[in-house]
Structure 1
Amino acid sequence: MQGKTPLYSKLLQFQSENNISFHVPGHKNGELISYNDEEWRRQLWKFDVTELNDLDDLHAPMGVIGDAEKLLTDLYGVKKSYFLVNGSTVGNLAMILASLKEGDKVFVQRNSHKSVMNGIKLAKAKPIFLSPDYEEEWKVETVLSERTVKQAIAQFPEVKTLILTSPNYYGMIGNLEEIIQLAHANGICVLVDEAHGAHFIGNDKFPPSAVQLGADLVVQSAHKTLPALTMGAYLHYNTDFIEEHEVKYYLEILQSSSPSYLIMASLDKARHYLATYSEEDWDYLQNTISLFRSELAKVSQLKVLGYPYIGDPLKITIQSTVDKTGFILQKQLEKEGIYTELADSNNVLFVFPLLKKEIAFPLNEIITKVRKALSENLSEIPYERKVSASIKKGQDIVELKLGETEQALRNKREISLNDAHHAICAETIIPYPPGIPILMPGEEITMYHINQIKNLLKDGARFQGSPSIYENKITIFEK
């Protein structure tokens, strides 16, 4: 048995099939890395070194790493930018721990990544969830409204930190500038998980970055849309609310003491890729995306969605016109070697590569594969489109029913999901992707939550956490 290498062997097999990547990481199986720099790909193993003389130290950068971070800082126009080698997760944790003390109340956008929720939990702060708007055609939660933020400030004037997610997973951006200005006018520090927006400053045709709009701390997953290796991310510090040494302190605690030079080198290369993105590159990208969207729209089984808000052109979302789930569509595309980023009950999400004009895109081959994937008769797979609309009125602003201290004093038990209405959840329920919790420990379980989980289970969603959820069971706190 020890002669086997199951993961390595599967990766070799997978890459030998020449699959087409519409998912992260942004280097797209190395295509954006090696289009004019084959040496970079050949040298990957040799770049896996450690903190040798002349190679600097991520935790005390005074040489080449410091120089690379300075170039990043200058590009984004902030006070200080940091390389992250443990993904946006470590950036979210660090900025939250630097901003909150035990017992602080904090506004947090409800459709935030689990790392944001975990950061609040580690800080022992008290989250006040602000529910985003709901888009009926897409059937997804979208962006936070300025109206909800105003209501929250009026209801909780003592809160001094707001955590936003922008763009959302589907690329949507709302009134981000107005919300940041509103928060600052009320003495509120704004933290933004901009995991999917590292490329926004590459051209003024992209949506504006939270960095440009005045957010105080911004975290970006460079690996999602830029040609960086997985776990490569950036943190941008640009605030007077928080001391920089607090952020650095938590980064030193949370980041690996043996940071990957491969990841750091890829972050340096990704910054260079973005800094040299030209108008000609944008024109080529825009034309290619427009052509791709128009060709997808010609496939009778598909509907290509248009943004209800400002949106990221790299994100392309489709739905079935014959009432098939996004999970089914995704599986059919995978049979033809087209791997997408995400499926939900209704949608499939493509993450388009951030092309430069020198990079060829096999449009005809991809559309041929899409048509072939959808030519299969799917009529025997039943599906009823049953997705609840928004959270019922009065739920725009929600506090936990049980705080961290109270949770520690309660016993837990597992019950049927059908019996969980009004119970207090004792586990985190996370469909993955996108990694946005439906329920958090201490949160009251509503019929909206129950129906949402049931629909996702029925449609074939995957969940992180207890496997009991697949048996329609959930863990609650006893009274």
Structure 2
Amino acid sequence: MKDINQNQTPLFTALKEYSKSGIVPFDVPGHKQGRGIKEFTEYVGTTIMELDVNSVKCLDNICNPIGVIKEAEDLAAQAFGADHSFFLVNGTTSGVQTMIMSACKPGDKIIIPRNAHKSAISGIILSGAIPIYIQPEINENLGIAMGVTVERVKKTIKAHPDAKAIFLINPTYYGATSNIKEIVEIAHQHSMAVLVDEAHGAHMGFHKEFPPSAMELGADMSAVSLHKTGGSLTQSSLLLLKKGIIDPFTVKTNLNLTQTTSASYLLMSSLDVARKQLATKGEEILTKVLKLVRDAREEINKIDGLYAFGKELVGTPGVYGFDETKLGVNVRKLGLTGFEVYDILRDHYKIQVELADYYNIMAIVSLGDTERSLQALVAALKDIAVKFRKDVEIKMITNVLKNPAVIVSPRDAYYSSKRVVKLDDAVGEISGEAIMAYPPGIPVVAPGERITKEMIEYIKLLKEEETLLQGTEDPYIEYIKVLGLNTNGFGK
């Protein structure tokens, strides 16, 4: 791709020009520049509403971009080291689904770590692929899953040489990266595509002190949540493609199966500007971000009972590299669960961290953070360690992180006849639904898997902690659908 000026914002510029043109709209959206929903417009401002337009000719169309959207996508492809990029307005979920659908047909095998996001499971259901789960490494001290090792990949490929693709995470929710370069080389030797969920790694290719991005390492496709760590609006992401195994027209066709035809120009133009900022100022901004998070990690590690883990994990199983902006803090020596600390931070200190599990909390530090915001977090953790500490230590439970037994493909399980049973009575059954805490959206159990006692105990533990659970038709997770004839309904 020829060099192009990364200071340009073709889509955002065209959108601003259109909004200033004095056009009289007789198309959708029906609020007509905000006049039709005055209460909302008065709060968010008229500029936002004037920029919320439909796919008019001069603004191009996301389903078949040939104008300013195409120009903006080409700029993004160059900035991220790809040959093609596709704007996403259904979040990275639609990108993950499209990657799997573009690499796998019904019945094809895909090698995938079990700590993948629920979007990967839905992509497997949509494509009809057969998941071959590869066990991620487990850090027993922290109680979290890390990356996958080259050795496990080799072993899995040897057992399943007919697999069509390998799916990887770069980085994991807590910041661990695998040796993607070597895995790509091995996969390509076996004509397997490498698909990478890079939802939390949009920033990594723009500063040399981060692990490299999937495109830099030779992956075939990656889905990048620019809204998570790159500055664009929530729900806006990128799908990136390298020439080779996967055809770009196949990708476009599959993307158009699941993505809206009424793409938000607010979302797309924010991608345009966020890409410009990363491409032109990313190194400068991320240098400051790294200093902030390093200083905060150092201060947190001085607090008795807390462990803010970081790059010292590199070289341990499943950690080839580490993204330092993932500020994970193990809190169990305070006698508190991560869920408790998550709630205390929000309710007592007005601090919202990204997620919690039973043992840890995790704060994402990104482009918009300041010294003041990090100081507030550190001060709150110091206070919690004194005021809320308990004289116990949270017991470690890691069995639930092991790969479950897949009895039926997720697609077959999704479409099979099902019956409803009480969660307590589901041990040994084959699940017809997924159950996950969100965030991070990694299923405790997925469709087609054998439900174990450990799974149920962990789900009940999550419920006791008032974790946000989802996936089942029953909103209270008292019941679960399992495979078999439908004989009962909820509450019967």
TM-score (norm. length: structure 1): 0.84
Q: Of 143, 148, 155, which residue of structure 1 is paired with 2:147?
A: 143
Deviations 1:16-67 (A, max 9, x none): xxxxxxxxxxxxxxxxxxxxxxxxx984332212223422222222222121
Does the Cα contact within 8 Å between 2:130 and 2:409 map onto a contact in 1? no
1:113/1:456 CA distance change after superposition, 3 Å: same
Residue number among 211, 225, 231 corresponding to 1:227 in the alignment: 231
Could you say if the C-alpha distance between residues 369 and 448 of structure 1 is closer, same or farther in structure 2, counting changes exceeding 3 Å? closer
Pairs within 5 Å for 1:162-311: 162-277=166-281, 279-307=283-311, 308=313, 309=319, 310-311=321-322
Given that residues 431 and 451 in structure 2 are in contact (C-alpha distance below 8 angstroms), is that contact kept between their aligned partners in structure 1? yes
Alpha-carbon shift at residue 376 of structure 1 (Å): 3.2
The aligned counterpart of 2:397 is: 387
One-letter code of the match for 1:442?
A: G
- What aligned pairs does 1:392-411 form with structure 2 within 5 A after superposition? 399-401=406-408, 404-405=411-412, 408-411=415-418
Counterpart in 1 of 2:106?
102
CA distance, structure 2, for counterparts of residue 134 and residue 427 of structure 1: 25
Map 1:69-108 to 2 at 5 A: 69-108=73-112
**Alpha-carbon distance change, 467 to 123 in structure 1, aligned in 2, over 3 angstroms:** closer
Structure 1: how far apart are the matches of 2:383 and 2:46? 35
Q: Partner letter of residue 456 of structure 2?
A: I
Provide the secondary structure at the position in 1 that maps to 2:66: coil
2:196 touches 2:214 (CA, 8 Å); kept in 1?
yes
Give the counterpart letter for 2:398 in structure 1. Answer: S
Distance in 2 (alpha carbons) for counterparts of 1:88 and 1:305: 27
Q: Partner residue of 1:332? A: 344
**Aligned pair 1:367/2:378, yes or no?**
yes
SS in 1 for 2:444: coil
Structure 2 counterpart of 1:324, which letter? L
CA distance in structure 1 between the partners assigned to 2:416 and 2:92 by the alignment: 32
AA aligned to 1:343 is A
Q: Say whether 1:431 aligns with 2:463.
A: no
Partner AA of 1:342 in structure 2: L
Distance 1:471 1:52 in 2: 45
Q: What amino acid sits opposite 1:198 in the alignment?
A: A
Match of 2:52 among 48, 54, 75: 48
Aligned partners of 2:416 and 2:483 also within 8 Å: no
- Please, which runs of 5 or more residues in structure 2 have no aligned partner? 1-38, 314-318, 486-492
Match of 1:313 in 2: 324
Name whichever of 277-286 and 290-299 sits farther off: 277-286
Q: Secondary structure at the match of 1:338?
A: coil
For 2:108 and 2:398, how far apart are their aligned partners in 1?
A: 33
Distance 1:449 1:54 in 2: 53
Q: Are 2:465 and 1:459 aligned?
A: yes
Q: Report how far residue 409 of structure 1 moved.
A: 4.9
CA deviation profile, 1:78-125 (whole Å, cap 9, x unmatched): 211111111001111122222221222221221111111101101122
1:457, distance to aligned residue in structure 2 (A) = 2.9
RMSD: 2.7
Q: Which amino acid aligns with 1:454?
A: K
SS class of match (1:235): strand
With a CA cutoff of 8 Å and minimum separation of 6, indicate the structure with the bigger relative contact order.
1
Name the SS for the 1:339 alignment partner: coil
Deviation string for 1:132-170 (max 9, x for gaps)? 110112101111122222222121221121122221111
Distance in 2 between residues matched to 1:391 and 1:293, nearest whole Å: 26
| Cα pair 1:134 1:389 within 8 Å, conserved | no
CA 1:289/1:213 → structure 2, altered by over 3 Å: closer, same or farther?
same
Is the Cα contact below 8 Å between 1:325 and 1:383 reproduced in 2?
no
CA contact (8 A) 2:194 2:219 kept: yes
SS in 2 for 1:44: helix
Kept in 1, the 8 Å contact 2:414–2:433? The answer is: no
Aligned-pair CA distance for 1:378: 5.2
Q: Is the 8 A contact 2:167 2:196 kept in 1?
A: yes
Q: CA deviation at 1:448?
A: 3.7
Q: Which amino acid aligns with 2:90?
A: N
Say whether the 8 Å CA contact 1:410–1:477 is kept in structure 2: yes
Instruction: State how far apart, in whole Å, the 1-side matches of 2:390 and 2:330 are.
Output: 16
Deviation at 1:196, TM superposition (A): 0.6
4+ runs of 1 displaced by more than 6 Å? none
Q: In 1, are the aligned partners of 2:299 and 2:378 still within 8 Å (CA)?
A: yes
**C-alpha contact 2:103 2:246 (8 A) present in aligned 1:** yes
For residue 276 of structure 1, give the secondary structure of its aligned residue in structure 2. Answer: helix
Aligned to 1:438, the other structure's residue is in SS state strand
Aligned equivalent of 2:8: none
Q: Distance in 1 between matches of 2:303 and 2:198?
A: 33
Aligned partners of 2:46, 2:383: CA distance in 1, in Å? 35
TM-score normalised over the length of structure 2: 0.81
Go from structure 1 to structure 2 and tell me whether the alpha carbon gap of 1:365 and 1:477 turns closer, same or farther (over 3 Å shift). Answer: closer
| 1:374, distance to aligned residue in structure 2 (A) | 4.7
Q: Equivalent of 1:477, from 453, 478, 483? A: 483
1:216 and 1:238 in contact (8 A); partners too: yes
Q: 1:116 to 1:409 in 2, by over 3 A?
A: closer
User: Please, which runs of 5 or more residues in structure 1 have no aligned partner?
Assistant: 1-7, 16-40
Whichever residue aligns with residue 400 of structure 1, its letter is: I
Assess if the C-alpha contact under 8 Å between 1:55 and 1:65 holds in 2: yes
Equivalent position amino acid for 1:440 in 2: A
Structure-2 separation of matches of 1:388 and 1:268: 42
Number of residues of Structure 1 aligned to a counterpart in Structure 2: 436
- C-alpha distance after superposition, 1:360-395 (max 9, x if no partner): 644444433443455434549x87424134756xx5
Report if aligned partners of 1:336, 1:372 keep a CA contact under 8 Å in 2: no
Task: Check 1:232–1:409 CA distance in 2 against 1; reply closer, same or farther (3 A cut).
Answer: closer
* Cα pair 1:407 1:477 within 8 Å, conserved: no
